């Protein structure tokens, strides 16, 4: 239902347009040691998404933590065909910036509303990174 559509605006981090089902976590994600790049699965035992894969999802998360191998691990998810379709995050760091650049997925951040509040897992999310627009259709 289009009436329920929520629009947010932010800054393009990596250009492109993509849409898909949201996978949301308010926690930060570890790259090296925190994900299996060959399947796109979160493996950190303490993580609320442990065991879930972000492959082909729109990954909505707080930001990056952990090892400086973050970018290389997420870079490898692209090669393995397991990268998310698009990425939305809320806390800027060098780890996450470099990671999304080499993952080459459309990405926006610095949104005018808190994406971790607005978007729920399972919502349909369209990311028009070129124009900095995020469109959310709640499930």
Positions marked catalytic: 67
DSSP string, the chain: -GGG-EEEE-EEEE--EEEEEEEEESS-EESTTTEETTTTEE--TTSTTTT-B-TTSEEEES-EES-TTHHHHHHHHHHTT---SEEEESS--HHHHHHHHHHT--EEES-SS-HHHH--TT-EEEEEGGGTEEEEE--
Give yes or no for residue 87 binding other proteins (CB under 8 A).
Answer: no
User: Exactly one of 98, 133, 135, 138 binds other proteins (CB under 8 A); which one?
Assistant: 98
User: Exactly one of 10, 40, 84, 99 binds other proteins (CB under 8 A); which one?
Assistant: 99
User: Exactly one of 6, 102, 133, 137 binds other proteins (CB under 8 A); which one?
Assistant: 102
Q: Which of residues 33-72 bind other proteins (CB under 8 A)?
A: 33, 38, 43-46, 63, 65-72
Supply angle C-alpha 124, 100, 138, rounded to 5.
10
Mark the segment that binds other proteins (CB under 8 A) among 17-25, 51-59, 91-99, 112-120: 91-99
For the CB of residue 83, give the shortest distance to other proteins in the complex, in Å.
Answer: 13
Residues in contact with other proteins by CB under 8 A are 11, 13-14, 28, 33, 38, 43-46, 63, 65-72, 75-76, 79-80, 91-95, 97-102, 104, 107, 110
């Amino acid at each position: 239902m289009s009436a329920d559509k929520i629009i947010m605006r932010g800054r393009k981090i990596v250009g492109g347009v993509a849409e898909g089902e949201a996978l949301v976590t308010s926690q930060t994600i570890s790259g090296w040691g925190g994900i299996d790049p060959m399947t796109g699965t979160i493996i950190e035992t303490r993580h609320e998404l442990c065991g879930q894969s972000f492959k082909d999802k729109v990954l909505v998360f707080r930001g990056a933590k952990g090892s400086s191998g973050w970018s290389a691990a997420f870079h490898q998810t692209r090669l393995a065909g397991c990268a998310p379709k698009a990425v939305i995050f809320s806390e800027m760091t060098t780890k996450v910036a470099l990671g999304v650049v080499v993952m080459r997925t459309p990405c926006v951040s610095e949104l005018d509303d808190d994406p971790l509040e607005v978007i729920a897992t399972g919502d349909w999310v369209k990311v028009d990174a070129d124009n900095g627009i995020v469109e959310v259709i709640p499930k």
